[in-house]
A and B are shown apart, each in its own frame.
Chain A
Amino acid sequence: MKKRKVREFKPGSVFYACLVYLFLYLPIFVVIVFSFNTSEMNITFQGFTVEWYGRMLENRQLMQSFFNTVIVAFWSTIISVVIGTLCALGLYKFEFKLKNLISSSLYIPIVIPELVFAIALLIFFSSIHVNMNMVTLIIAHVTFSMPFVVITVRARLAGFDKSIEEAARDLGANELHTFFRVTLPMISPGVISGGMLALTMSLDDVVVSFFTAGPESQTLPLKILGMVRKGVSPDVNALSTLMILGTIVILLTATLIQGKLEKKM
Chain B
Amino acid sequence: MIKSFKKRIGALVTVGPTVLWLGFFLMIPLIYVIGISFLTKNAYGGVDFIFTLDNYKALFSNEYVKVFADSLWLSLETTVICLIVGYPFAYIIANAPKKWKPALVMLLMLPFWTNSLIRTYGWNTLLRTEGVINHFLQWIGIIDKPLNMLYTDGAVLLGMVYALLPFTVLPLHTSIEKLDHSLLEAASDLGASKVHTFTRVILPLTMPGIFAGSIQTFIPSLGFFFISDMMGGAKTMYIGNLIKNQFLSARNWPLGAVLSIVLIIITLIIMKLYTRVGSLEDMA
**Chain A residues close to B by CB (< 8 Å):** 6-9, 13, 16-17, 20-21, 23-31, 34, 41-44, 83-84, 86-87, 89-91, 93-96, 102, 105-117, 119-124, 127, 139-140, 142-143, 146-148, 150-152, 155, 200, 203-204, 206-207, 210-211, 220-221, 224-225, 228, 232, 240, 243-244, 247-248, 251, 255
Bound complex: CA A102 to CA B106 (Å): 34
The 8 Å CB contact of B18, one of A20, A83, A108, A113, is A83
The distance from the CB of B94 to the nearest CB of chain A, in whole angstroms, is: 10
The distance from the CB of A138 to the nearest CB of chain B, in whole angstroms, is: 11
Question: Does B222 lie at the interface of the complex (its beta carbon under 8 Å from any beta carbon of A)?
Answer: yes
Is A6's CB under 8 angstroms from B97's CB? Answer: yes
List 4 A-B pairs, minimum CB-CB distance, nearest first: A27-B122, A90-B14, A115-B223, A120-B29
Which secondary structure dominates chain A's binding surface? helix
Type the 1/0 row for B84-121, where 1 means its CB is closer than 8 Å to any CB of A: 01001100110111101000101111111111111111
Note all chain A residues with C-beta closer than 8 A to B50.
none
Q: With A17-B104, A43-B131, A140-B25 in contact, is A116–B17 under 8 Å at CB?
A: no
Is A113's CB under 8 angstroms from B132's CB? Answer: no
Q: With A116-B33, A122-B247 in contact, is A27–B219 under 8 Å at CB?
A: no
A-B residue pair count with CB separations less than 8 angstroms: 240
Note all chain A residues with C-beta closer than 8 A to B220.
113-114
Bound complex: CA A155 to CA B284 (Å): 10
Type the 1/0 row for B191-210, where 1 means its CB is closer than 8 Å to any CB of A: 00000000000000000000
Quick check: which of B53-61, B170-178, B256-264 contacts chain A, the rest being far away? B256-264
The 8 Å CB contact of A90, one of B15, B219, B244, is B15
Note all chain B residues with C-beta closer than 8 A to A109.
22, 26
Question: Does B213 lie at the interface of the complex (its beta carbon under 8 Å from any beta carbon of A)?
Answer: no
Is B219's CB under 8 angstroms from A24's CB? Answer: no
The 8 Å CB contact of A9, one of B25, B96, B247, is B96
Bound complex: CA A29 to CA B225 (Å): 24
Is A87's CB under 8 angstroms from B247's CB? Answer: no
Is A93's CB under 8 angstroms from B10's CB? Answer: yes
Is B92's CB under 8 angstroms from A28's CB? Answer: no
The 8 Å CB contact of A240, one of B18, B106, B121, B130, is B121
Note all chain A residues with C-beta closer than 8 A to B92.
13, 16-17
Note all chain B residues with C-beta closer than 8 A to A8.
97
The distance from the CB of B238 to the nearest CB of chain A, in whole angstroms, is: 11
